[in-house]
Amino acid sequence: MIGSIPNYEFLKNKMQGKFQNYLFLFLLLFPFLLSACNTISEDRLLAFKNQSSRQIFQNGEVELAKRNYYDAISHFEALEVLYPYSPYSEQAQLDLIYAYYENDDYPSATATAERFIRLYPRSRSVDYAYYMKGMAEFEQDRGWLQRVFAIDVAQRDPGISRQAFADFAELIRLYPKSTYAPDARQHMIYLKNLFARHELCVAEFYLRSEAYVAAANRANMIVQHYQGAAVMPNALEILVRAYQGLHLLEPAQKAIEVLQYNYPSWPSLAELKMAQTQLVKGVSKR
């Protein structure tokens, strides 16, 4: 038997219901939040107007070292507004990316990394910007869902994680010897397995619904695009069952042979072969 997967539609409806409640509350409070943010930004800026660019930058570095990320962000944002062309701008942008990331403000970390790549394409630290952009997108897509809903992220569309994968791939393509390349590769492996698991969840849902063509298409996608993924035998099993459900015995047999060759100890292999034998006998009796 295929491993049990939580009901795809049930999770989707449950999440949508909760999301609508949060959305209503957010829309109700948004004008007040926006007003508060604007006031805080102006107050922050006033506090730095009599300081030099060097003072602002150095004090920001001190706050960053203390892990006071909120205060560090205030310093680096003020430096960017008051002294946009200071000699500290480049390093301040890198520090701002990190401070946003550590403060769980992943959209701001992503936007700042994008801006750094655009403004300083020849910087010796541009590989760090690519890496942090990928990391911010990676955390943005999975963090709040896991904390609030406590669900497996494979149950939903990977969304922005695909962009994180692309950013890690771009880092490795442009800077294969970067200090950050090994970790980027590890994140890509994780994401590749995540994407494959998501496709498997959808394929299992279609199989349970007896939508065999859709199930076969999703399983084929895993086989073709996610070689080496941990769920590969699961995908082959779905492929066999979908083809058998469609009475496509030749492709079902080929999928069984691939499963047997690569995963000879797969628990459902004997069951799949027995079902195949019965289908062949049924056809031969006609």
pLDDT greater than 60 at residue 12:
no
Indicate whether this model's pTM tops 0.85: no
Domain spanning 198-286: CATH 1.25.40.10 = yes
Q: What are the domain boundaries of the chain?
A: 42-103, 198-286
Q: Which two tokens stand for residue 229?
A: 């993924």
| Per-residue pLDDT, 135 | 96
| Angstrom distance (rounded) from CA 273 to CA 262 | 15
Query: What are the tens digits of pLDDT across the range 22-66?
Result: 445 445 544 444 433 433 466 677 778 889 999 999 999 999 999
pLDDT band of residue 74 (cuts 50, 70, 90) is very high
Give the whole-number percent of the chain exceeding pLDDT 70: 78
Distance CA 231, CA 123 (A): 40
Contacts of 231 (CB under 8 A, 6+ apart): 193, 196, 197, 200, 222
pLDDT tens for each residue of 124-151: 999 999 999 999 999 987 665 565 655 6
The per-residue pLDDT for 147 is 57
Q: Structure tokens of 106? A: 């992943």
230-to-195, 223, 263 alpha-carbon distances in Å: 11, 11, 12
Q: Please, which residues have CB within 8 angstroms of residue 131's CB and are 6 or more apart in sequence?
A: 168, 171, 178, 180, 183, 184
Q: Let me know if 97 is exposed, middle or buried by CB neighbors in 10 A (0-12, 13-18, 19+).
A: buried
